[in-house]
Amino acid sequence: MLEEGSTPFAAAAKRLARNVVCATMMVFPVAISTSASVSAQTAEAPMPPRVKPDPNAPSAAGSDQIINLLDREPEPLFSDVEMPYTAPSRSLTTGLSDGLDQGALYLMAKLTRDSKPLDDGLIWRIYSEATNANGRLELIATSMGGDAEFRLDPGAYLVHTAYGYAQSTNRVVIGKDVQSKMLTLNAGGIKFGAAMKDGNGIDETQVTFDVYGMTFDERGERNKIVGDITPGSIVRLNADTYHVVSRYGDVNAVVRADIQVLPGKLTEATILHKAADITLKLVNERGGEAIANTTWSVLSAGGHVVVEATGAFPDFVLAEGEYEALARNNGKTYLHNFEVAPGQDREVEVVTAVSELETQETSNSN
């Protein structure tokens, strides 16, 4: 879990987060809960990448001087450590049998160079380095929790480690001896929140977040890391900068922000929306009953269709701005201009009475 007061470093966080007017960020060295379910993340074991770091790379030498967060040199992610005095708290190796001709691999992981080893929330997967007949890497063994111990036949393997959505893959060569490895994840987390720009309350049940990488593929699209995150959720990620998209409702209330994750830290990101919940009604007179079987179109100030619906009480969350409502009923079309102000949820009535329509036209012409 994230340690309070730990000294962070960021090998991957080479870009400072760009503050935008729609998001506020606060970084606190507080603990991330490890009780969240990981079933959605573990439904299908991910394929490890082709890049294989050198398992024999020496650990970086320690230093007592104060080093700038972005200038500090990273230590190797996968390094040898002395065998602990006590055996692992549990051995969760699956599908393997003990044998005198096998080697032992003991694995531990921590968030940063200076933090303590994690005791929960880790998922270890051991893959064969060679592909099978289907061209895929074979999953040899798995373990969940904190530290892990595996008994493996001599050979080369790929070790995939996941802590939430923070992941790392490393290569290890096993003989008939005992090896102990420490993985430094360089990971942190984001806690998501949402609020209205003017301070009014927001219906958090209609707010979701999606997290994307910063780079684009050949089609000009970002890689989606995780989606449909609800306010208050904590997502563990590798230390880096991420593009976060927050949606309020299902129409056009969308806010984007670039947010930086620091190793060993929890970033609290509150996305500020400027929108309101609007209910449309077609009535014969002001305050009258809504007319059923009405078809609706909401147009932007530029005349583009924003959303369409059918019913007596269509309800939308719309971004701040000016709109025109078109109501069609019994072969007739009725128009009404309205404005959306942040946080001001309300009903918008479209009146069929001729006197009301003439009043609207006179008001619009002035």
Assign 179 a pLDDT band (cuts: 50, 70, 90): very high
Rg, the chain, Cα only: 28
Which residues of the chain are in CATH 2.60.40.1120 domains? 30-186, 188-273, 275-365
pLDDT computed for residue 37 by the predictor: 31
pLDDT at position 59 over 90: no
Q: What is the pLDDT of residues 113-123, one digit of tens each?
A: 889 999 999 99
Helix (H) or strand (E) holding 8: none
Average pLDDT rounded to a whole number, residues 21-40: 34
pLDDT computed for residue 329 by the predictor: 95
Share of the chain above pLDDT 90, in %: 62
Superfamily per CATH, domain 30-186:
Carboxypeptidase-like, regulatory domain (2.60.40.1120)
Distances (CA, A) of 137 to 40, 44, 93, 357: 22, 13, 18, 69
Claim: this prediction has a pTM higher than 0.85: no
CATH number belonging to domain 275-365: 2.60.40.1120
Average pLDDT rounded to a whole number, residues 99-123: 90
100-115: burial string, b at 16+ Cβ within 10 Å, e else: eebbbbbbbbbbbbbb
Share of the chain above pLDDT 70, in %: 70
108: closest CA among 121, 98, 100, 119?
119
pLDDT at position 181 over 90: yes
Q: Residue 267 is encoded by which pair of tokens?
A: 């970033």
Q: Alpha-carbon distance 125 to 143, whole Å?
A: 7
**Mean pLDDT for the chain?**
78
Q: What is the pLDDT of residues 315-358, one digit of tens each?
A: 999 999 999 999 999 999 999 999 999 999 999 999 997 545 44
Q: Which CATH number fits domain 188-273: 2.40.170.20, 2.60.40.1120, 3.30.360.10, 3.10.20.30?
A: 2.60.40.1120
